[in-house]
Structure 1
């Protein structure tokens, strides 16, 4: 096993610090194994967790993190379902884990206490694994684009019911870095601001994110309403950096429950629609070259991901190729965007 945990922690300890909380590593740092799989055991009232209700309230749970080297840590936490659409249609919805700040500080860790967990959604084990691994790859691809992204950890989760020990379920998932932790790591703080103009953004960061969303075929986000994207206000510049998450509706992931976003001119899930702001031609050319320079890195990451079955790797490579092999189409899209019309149905790409 290529366990980079202690080396990662060593590097983290060398980072510059600006206050008391920054001198401590986080829970995510502690369990972040990068290419390795983290073993997780979550014990809670599964019936209460999975029974649909409007409030999606927190309930008591315990969680254990382990690697092949043994137990890393064990915690009493609270857990709840998240994502109302997926809560309605999934057999097992995505979750939010909430740790006690006091427990974290007692353990010498930073107070980042809230983490999202991408779960398997459907009971079909093979299909669920495929969906989770493809979405994990979407996060990893964006990590190659920029550090202004969520770090993720692939996990194998064993769910146990605290009222009936016979009920055990083991599935794949993705643990996502805390939003506050990500924001601090990149030099800012999360803000919740709606309807922000382009002048409020770090335009290169916004452009970079919007092109990535187009590249993987994701129209399930909205900068105006801040849906499936977090806004980080950078301390150095005061500008907003958008950080995306939840890529399951993208062409790259191709979750079978994904639906088209007709509101932006996407009439099939396989339609690519560019949803970013208008940018000058010079910036468009720069960003196009930037992504072309990453093509081999994207393809290498996908090819080398042995946990993803071969047919899925081939499919993801085809999606990536569908972007890079249509450079003239892409330029036409950006020229069209200069009209200010963002609902532009574009290149159709089918599985």
Structure 2
């Protein structure tokens, strides 16, 4: 790959290659005649929390396996932390922590015992600080109370926490997490969210593959969306959301009249269920602002006699953008 290079897609702000923790160009992976990853150009800025979204079977986990050298690409280029993969695998992986496709541990060992053994297998890890680092990692994921318990007695959520602890046994430049909140209760999910934010604040790039849109919206700064093996959008979260159709919500008792005004302005009106008020107002939603200033929309409504008792402008949610980009839900397997 030649530098400098912009690695933006679908209206996202261009990013220099030197500012990227992960970069791919025309990356392809086939299984038989099916392309699981079909020519994607991925750009993950350093220091970001990057949410990697897509329906089941869209190619997310296959992409992660390619990035980490767990599978070989059929064609294309990969750079992780500025180095070409898989040629630089031995020098890159010590700076990368990963939790992919669920953690696997020795069931007859305790949480501490598993982490001690895994750390011992890392030739870059210091023996002198091993026990302290294991204790610190268990504390960060809230497992200090179960450190001595055998892993066979761990719940799915506890095993997931232990996998996170293993990924953080040493300081990492990049953390790759595949469904990190899988099996966690709401409290555990909030703790992981807070942990990811703190890691990013400390300079670690966090790459999160997830199907939980609400979590991604609260956790991530950047997003990439996969569909049928293709990267259909990527960029800062706010840019991705603002690229969707914004809509206005008008609280008024004059529903039919408001709908006619919105139609005249080129908006697509519709009544939002369950958004009435104690005074009997209904909410009329107009989609596609079409360059109108909010003040002009309100003025047009009032000029035609619409009693406006509430008015808001809302950008498309991440879920709306996801559906518009993929046409699918997360239960689709392709």
Q: TM-score, normalised by structure 1?
A: 0.25
Radius of gyration: which is bigger?
2
**Structure with greater strand share of residues:** 2
